[in-house]
Amino acid sequence: MKQLFSIVLAMCIALLASCNKTASTPSLRLFIVSEYVPQEVIDGFTKETAIPVTKELFDTNEAMLTKLQGSPGAYDLIQPSEYMVEHLIKRGMLAPVNTNQIPNLSNLLPEFKQLSSDPGLKYSVPYMAGTVGIVINTDKVKDPVNTYQDLFSAKYNQRIIVIDDNREIVSWALAAKGIPINDVTPDNLAKVKPLLAEWLPRVKIYEGPNPQRALLRGDVDLGIVYCGDAAKLIEQDKKFKYVLPADGAHRFVDSLCIPKDAKNKEAAEKFINYVLRPEVSKLISDKFPYTNPNAAARKVLSQSQLDNGASYPANAEKLELFKDIGKASSDLSALMSELRK
């Protein structure tokens, strides 16, 4: 009887120890854009640190904000774009980044350390950057397409694909009118409304992820896409060309941020430091060929990656970051809802 009691007691002690170990093991809950973080990066981090990682996906910054507000404490690391970083900082929704825990911050290019959305990177760490520009099938489109008005010409009616993002679309019309893309006022929205009413019926496809499929199939011949998608097209077929509109274009910076109510801040900082390693950042560029803000990673990219004109465009002078436009976003959404009925 004593032997049986000893066995049961030992089993209970072992079970309790196992539970305590599980309870004390930190985890990392990611809330990220689509499949923007390669699984091999997540697996490598877990293998090295023994920190399990779960991920949840969002399609837009606005959807991310809604979920973040409705689920306090649910996430340890999020991936907002520059204007949403600014918005979250204003609302006190982000935890300061402990730079002492992220020595690999030194790998970032200087231009990405003083972004207008978060000067000095107090609350955010750039993950990947890029541009939004014009992609052209040069086998089908022979005339120059250098501006938004060139693209939305009547001769390309129902041959156009564009990213499905209202803020982006309005910014193109603002730029075409010579209006700064962040100057979203009722007067300026009224100025661009006729232009958008002319352009939008000519669009054949509004696309989220993977617009390259429609372009490769020949369903459309040109359009406005994220540079990473254009880079993949160019990798597959050199007939595709990427152009930054002469009117001006949006340069985006997607960052990693820690919500103020995150439960595993230390694990989040470890992950940020991990993805800033050059060899890890290269894995991200291999799968998502946007503009890598990591100077150390660029040194290990192949020459063909660096020469891809979509990932690293030559004519990148007239680029502007989106800023938080506050309540004007409602006016913008209302205009686009009216025009896209």
Q: What's residue 314's pLDDT?
A: 86
pLDDT tens per residue across all 341 residues of the chain:
445 445 444 454 455 444 444 445 689 999 999 889 999 999 999 999 999 999 999 989 999 999 999 999 999 999 999 999 999 999 999 999 999 999 999 999 999 999 999 999 999 999 999 999 999 999 999 999 999 999 999 999 999 999 999 999 999 999 999 999 999 999 999 999 999 999 999 999 998 767 889 999 999 999 999 999 999 999 999 999 999 999 999 999 999 999 999 999 999 999 999 999 999 999 999 999 999 999 999 999 999 999 999 999 987 788 999 999 999 999 999 999 999 98
Q: What's residue 153's pLDDT?
A: 98
Where do the domains of the chain lie?
2-129+254-306, 130-251+311-339
Same fold, 2-129+254-306 and 130-251+311-339: yes
Q: What is the DSSP string of 176-240?
A: HTT--TT---HHHHHHHHHHHHHHGGGEEEEESS-THHHHHHTS-SEEEEEHHHHHHHHHH-TTE
CATH architecture of 2-129+254-306: 3-Layer(aba) Sandwich (3.40)
Task: Give the class (CATH, top level) of 130-251+311-339.
Answer: alpha beta
Q: What's residue 4's pLDDT?
A: 47
Q: What's residue 341's pLDDT?
A: 85
Residue with tokens 């990148």: 316
Rounded to whole angstroms, how far apart are CA atoms 272 and 77?
9
CB atoms within 10 A of CB 37: 26
Closest CA to 200 of 335, 6, 2: 335
**pTM of the full structure:** 0.90
CB-based burial of residue 49 (10 Å sphere; 0-12 exposed, 13-18 middle, 19+ buried)?
middle
Q: What's residue 22's pLDDT?
A: 43
Q: What's residue 34's pLDDT?
A: 84
Rounded to whole angstroms, how far apart are CA atoms 268 and 37?
14
Tell me which DSSP letter residue 122 carries: S
The rounded Cα 276 to chain-centroid distance in angstroms is 16
